[in-house]
Chains A and B, each alone.
Chain A
Amino acid sequence: MTYLAKPRLHHPSLATNQVGYTRRDYEGKISTLCAGCGHDSISAAIVQACWELDIEPHRVAKLSGIGCSSKTPDYFLGASHGFNSVHGRMPSVLTGANLANRGLLYLGVSGDGDSASIGLGQFAHALRRGVNMVYIVENNGVYGLTKGQFSATADRGSKSKKGAINRDAPVDLVGLALQLGASYVARSFSGDKAQLVPLIKGAIGHAGAAFLDVISPCVTFNNHAGSTKSYDYVREHNDAVSRIDFISQKREITTDYAPGEVVDVAQHDGTVLRLRKLHEGYDPTDRAAAMNHVHLHQARGEVLTGLLYVDAETGDLHEALNTTATPLNALGRAELCPGAAELARLNDALR
């Protein structure tokens, strides 16, 4: 995992956002991934989403596991603390970090090898606990760092670069996330920035477990005929349920979609997800219907994208634990230690 430092020089005419940062301030080191890797497009989308949302870069904690995707947090938000943990076990580290300080934005980046195999358990439990996070899987169906083995999200019957046919059923992370109780579930394509950026923005605004499965073709090992995670396949089979516009609480809500096709979902923090429905009758607030829809399209070999499900009324793990509003890492002895007098009472009760 070599890296190249980016020059910190900014062009003076670069636009700043409302917290005074230019887009360059959201970048990280120069990527060492293969040219054309879908993951770099996702990094760019994260940069754009954070800049547009006026998030201070240092208020983000970016965590990942091991693998190509897990390298990417080095390539965005250079002023943030990053954590490249162990393979597949990013969710638990993120959960602990979130428990320690509820005041930061937690961005978990993972891959299909990371989350659908070794980390499937942690993926599941972080979602069912409702950890307030944005959990992005950069899904290319292949192990890139170890040169081209199938991952657990590879479709049955798809072909590896060496010509092997995958015999195993795929793990559908979106289907799992819906079943496990994630309160924001979306799928996108790294090559569709217009869809991906608002989905990331919506996930950031969401006050609970937000999961994004982003199909992100591996140009080196999984971008050939026979792969169902290649650029060509996804472009041909992408079927979006909606087009999303994310409206922050600072922006005036204006309608630019035709009435009757638009659904506004107001979130806890005052942000609004405006959905232009592309599928007749699709209700993104109906978990069971969403699951059914996803499975139906999967059976047809289609990649259903867009905001598949959202529960704007959800809570998070801190709410379930009734944790104090002050970040736990900011509590000192005065707030934490019951003191000698209380200890004397406890001693008395033990005699």
Chain B
Amino acid sequence: MKRIESVNDFVVKFANVNGSGSASANELFAKAILRMGVPVSPRNIFPSNIQGLPTWYEVRVSEEGHLGRRGGVDLMVAMNPQTWDADVAEVEPGGYLFYDSTRPLPPEKFRDDLTVIGMPLTAICNATYEDARQRQLFKNILYVGALSMLLGIDPQVIEALFSEQYRGKERLLESNVRALNAGREFARDHLDPVGLQVRRSDRVGNRIFVDGNSAAALGCVYGGATVAAWYPITPSSSLAEAFQKYCGKLRVEPDTGMHRFAIVQAEDEIAAIGMVVGAGWNGARAFTATSGPGVSLMTEFIGLAYFAEIPVTIIDVQRGGPSTGMPTRTQQADLLCCAYASHGDTKHVLLFPEDPHECFEHAAAALDLADRLQTPVFLMTDLDIGMNQRLCQPFAWDDARDYDRGKVMSAEQLEAGRDFGRYKDVDGDGIPWRTLPGTHPTRGSFFTRGTTRDPYARYSERGADYVYNVQRLLRKFETAAALVPQPVLRPSARGTRLGVIYFGSTAPAMDEALAALAQAGIHLDAMRLRAFPFAGGVAEFIAAHEVVFVVEQNRDAQMRTLLVNELDVSPAQLEPVLHYDGTPITARFITQAITEHVHAEASAPRRRTRQMAREPSA
């Protein structure tokens, strides 16, 4: 058996029992590698329950800086007997299996092509600690210690992380360091070396390590959101909680201690969006964070906000649907329900950040866009970006940047006699002027309603008024196409008839897949979409290629549908590549899907294949 040998390029997966306290130990492991200058991308794969069920933490270590999931596991830390068989099966041939050897397992429970590393974690803990909780918790630190010795992770790096975590809690610091060293000593004295190694590097650079929900929350702080109304739902809850935390630090009036923000945990998603609509109507920058089922509940209000033209920012951290689907797994399956949320003819602005850095940027941009366009704007993230820490460019802010409050007519403008018609398209961009309640004693007041009105906001059932309104809304949507973040084009190094369109959290796996495909002689021009409505260049990009793969994480090729529906492009040109088992898409999956298609076309060029359903990658 040939063992996997690799330095700074491997995948470790921890299989744990939810509630066993493994999360912080596993994160410690990932962060320690990061502090050694080696890019790391960890992912939580967790069940929808409180405790007792399986949970996994997969750590991709990549000197090259690949941050997507690769697929496959090189070292499995198998701490959950319930999932043993599946966990063992997932390890690549020649890989490693680390397990608690306190209770011997029969030989058939192992694989011949794996290197098995047994450590009697339970026995050591039982001998060392009396308290049952400590026995459990320090088991995790023990295996981190043993792995750090096996993989060559500098113990001082881990101790520094402990010091940061337990600042002011000396007893905890000391006991954790002791457990760490016990694990290291056991590995040194009893375990054989492994072929996976971590060596100090300088590939992390200036980047930060943060989850998308925190980043989006901070973007809302920087973007000037003052009102947040939300209802708890995985995987978006930590976004609202992060907003609360950041506001508590950054938005308190220094002299009075009073808050320059208002956060309400509403009674449901309907109330949450209602509050955002009310606050937006009254001139505050307001947002809500939710997920698919929350969007479903909010749609009536979203339609009202669209038609009544009220700024609203909705952050949809997508998860597996439909209905409760897979509430703790990731997907990009809310595209259509958000793009066309509500009944009647509606279209909404969607933004697709690729990582936490863009979550920050796009959250602030969404607040500007909502005010500028006076309409709902969706920030479409997902569980993969939202709840996993990701290495990304540091957040940036230009102090000269001011908020775009859009067309809000002031008392002075009204006083100067400027004609005010709430729904008049005076500038030709489809965006009318508005006034805020309380602005002027006699001018500028109007009635907001979901029913049709004339350009002066007076109730109307005239067909001509309705048509004027909805046509102006379309004009506004066209205006939006130039204001939203534009797509990022990555031309191939050589001319090609193949293109690929992707967006959001697919980006890191796509980056890696493009490199792998190029190496195999398959060259693609790539376009990363960053918003809907689509920018002008998207249709041209599609037209310029014989085949354009559309890579997305849902069953029904929703982005492809959106492209076909909104652009004058031939559906036959758009080849779906779909991954939707709830795990983040892997570079391996994309590479394989595109390679298979190219090869199939080469052997039977007239027969178009559809990859509507693929088995998920390992």
**Chain A residues at the B interface, C-beta cutoff of 8 Å:** 1-3, 56-59, 61, 63, 73-74, 78-86, 89, 91-101, 103-104, 121-122, 124-125, 129, 317-318, 321-325, 328-329, 331-333, 335-340, 342-344, 346-347, 350-351
User: What B residues does A86 contact at CB under 8 A?
Assistant: 274, 300-301, 304, 450
| Interfacial chain B residues near A104, Cβ < 8 Å | 437-438
Given A100, A340, A342, which contacts B250 in the complex, CB threshold below 8 Å? A342
Closest 5 CB pairs of A and B: A96-B278, A92-B274, A100-B284, A96-B275, A329-B283
Cα distance A2–B263 in the bound complex, in angstroms? 38
CA distance A62 to B229 in the complex (A): 21
- A95-B264 contact in complex given A83-B448, A89-B274, A336-B251, C-beta closer than 8 Å: yes
Inter-chain CA distance A85–B305, complex, in Å, is: 9
Q: Do A100 and B282 have beta carbons less than 8 Å apart?
A: yes
* Pairwise interchain contact B270-A323, C-beta atoms closer than 8 A: no
Q: Which of B445-500 contact A (CB under 8 A)?
A: 445-451, 458-459, 461
A101 to B283, CA, bound (A): 8
Q: Which of B78-86, B345-353, B389-397 contacts A (4 or more CB under 8 A)?
A: B389-397
- In angstroms, how far is the closest chain B Cβ from the Cβ of A124? 8
> Chain B interface (Cβ within 8 Å of chain A)?
207-210, 218, 221-222, 224, 226-227, 229, 250-251, 253, 256-264, 266-268, 270-284, 286, 300-301, 304, 394-399, 401-403, 435-442, 445-451, 458-459, 461
- Whether B442 pairs with A340 at a CB distance below 8 angstroms is no
Point out the residues of chain A lying under 8 angstroms from B258, CB to CB.
322-325
Of A104, A325, A346, most B-chain CB atoms within 10 Å: A346
B438 touches which one: A61, A321, A350, A351 (CB < 8 A)? A61
Instruction: Point out the residues of chain A lying under 8 angstroms from B280, CB to CB.
Output: 96, 100
CA distance A167 to B113 in the complex (A): 73
Contact A81 B446 (CB under 8 A): yes
Q: Which residues of A contact B301 (CB under 8 A)?
A: 86, 89
Contacts of A92 in B (CB 8 A): 229, 266, 270-275, 277-278
The binding surface of chain B is classed by DSSP as: loop
Q: Is the CB of B282 within 8 A of A333?
A: no
B447 touches A82 (CB 8 A): yes
- Beyond the given pairs A93-B277, A328-B261, 8 more chain A to chain B contacts, judged by CB atoms under 8 angstroms and listed by A's residue number, are A63-B278, A89-B301, A95-B274, A100-B279, A329-B436, A331-B224, A337-B222, A340-B399
B445 to A321, Cβ gap below 8 A? no
Q: Are the C-beta atoms of A331 and B264 separated by less than 8 Å? A: no
Residue of A with least CB distance to B227: A99
The residue in B251, B401, B451 that gathers the most chain A C-beta atoms within 10 A of its C-beta is B251
**Contact, CB under 8 Å: A56 / B209:** no
Q: Which residues of A contact B396 (CB under 8 A)?
A: 340, 343
Q: Do B226 and A331 have beta carbons less than 8 Å apart?
A: yes
Contacts of A81 in B (CB 8 A): 435-438, 445-448
> Which of B284, B401, B446: most chain A Cβ within 10 A?
B284
Q: Which residue of A lies closest to B204 (CB)?
A: A351
* Chain B neighbourhood of A331, CB < 8 A: 224, 226, 260
Q: Name A346's contact: one of B218, B229, B442 (CB within 8 Å).
A: B218
